[in-house]
Amino acid sequence: MSGGVDSSVAAALLVEQGQPAFGIMLRLWSAGPELPNRCCSPRDMAMARRVANQLGIPFYVLDVRERFHAQVVQFFVDGYAQGTTPNPCMECNRSIRWQTLLEHALGLGATHLATGHYARVEQGQGGFHLLRAADRAKDQSYVLSVLGQVQLSHALLPLGNLTKPEVRAAARRLNLPVADRPESQDLCFVGGADYRTFLETQAGVQPLPGPILDEGGQRIGTHTGLSGYTIGQRKGIGISAQHPLYVLEKNPARNTLLVGPRQALRRTRFLVKRVTWVSGPPSNPLRALVQVRYRAAPVPACIENGTNSEEAAVTLEQPLHDVTPGQAAVFYDGDECLGGGIIQA
Partner 1 sequence: MSAPVYLDHAATTPLDPAALEVMQSCFVQEHGNPSSVHRWGQRAEAILEQAREQLASALGCESGEVIFTGGGTESDNLALAGVAFARREQTGATYLLTTPVEHEAVVKTAEHLAEEHGFRLEFLSVDAYGQVNPDELRARICKNTAVVSVIYGNNEIGTLNRLAELGAVCREFGVPFHSDAVQAASQLPIRVDDLQVDLLSIGAHKFYGPKGVGALYIRNGTPLRPLLRGGSQEGGLRPGTQNVPLIAGMGAALQSTTLQLAQQAEHFRGLRDRIIDQVRDRLPDARLTGHLVERLPNHASFVIPGVESNALLAALDLAGFACSAGSACKTGEPEPSRVLTAIGQPQDLALGSLRVTVGRSTTADQVESFLQALPQVVGRLRSPVSSLQ
Given 39, 40, 89, 188, the catalytic residue: 188
Provide the b/e sequence for 222-239 (b: ≥16 CB within 10 Å): ebbbbbbbbbbbeeebee
Element (H, E) at 171: helix 164-173
The question of whether 188 is a catalytic residue gets the answer yes
Amino acid at 299: V
Measured from the CB atom, is 273 or 287 closer to partner 1? Answer: 273
Closest contact distance (angstroms) between CB of 25 and partner 1 is: 8
Element (H, E) at 144: helix 141-144
Given 40, 92, 302, 337, the catalytic residue: 92
Measured from the CB atom, is 75 or 98 closer to partner 1? Answer: 98
Task: Return contacts of 212-217, CB within 8 angstroms, 24+ apart.
Answer: 212/237, 212/239, 212/256, 212/257, 212/258, 212/259, 213/256, 213/257, 213/258, 213/259, 214/258, 214/259, 214/260, 215/248, 215/258, 215/260, 215/264
Closest contact distance (angstroms) between CB of 256 and partner 1 is: 37
Rounded to an integer, what distance in angstroms lies between the CA atom of residue 234 and that of residue 50?
A: 45
Measured from the CB atom, is 12 or 102 closer to partner 1? Answer: 102
Closest contact distance (angstroms) between CB of 85 and partner 1 is: 24
Measured from the CB atom, is 152 or 199 closer to partner 1? Answer: 152
Closest contact distance (angstroms) between CB of 150 and partner 1 is: 5
Measured from the CB atom, is 151 or 327 closer to partner 1? Answer: 151
Closest contact distance (angstroms) between CB of 66 and partner 1 is: 9
Amino acid at 294: Y
Do β-strands 328-333 and 312-320 pair in parallel, antiparallel, or remain unpaired? unpaired
Question: Which residues in this chain contact partner 1 in the complex, by CB under 8 A?
Answer: 22, 25, 27, 45, 58, 60-63, 94, 98-99, 102-104, 106-109, 148, 150-151
Rounded to an integer, what distance in angstroms lies between the CA atom of residue 192 and that of residue 188?
A: 8
Element (H, E) at 224: none
The question of whether 92 is a catalytic residue gets the answer yes
Active-site amino acid positions: 92, 188
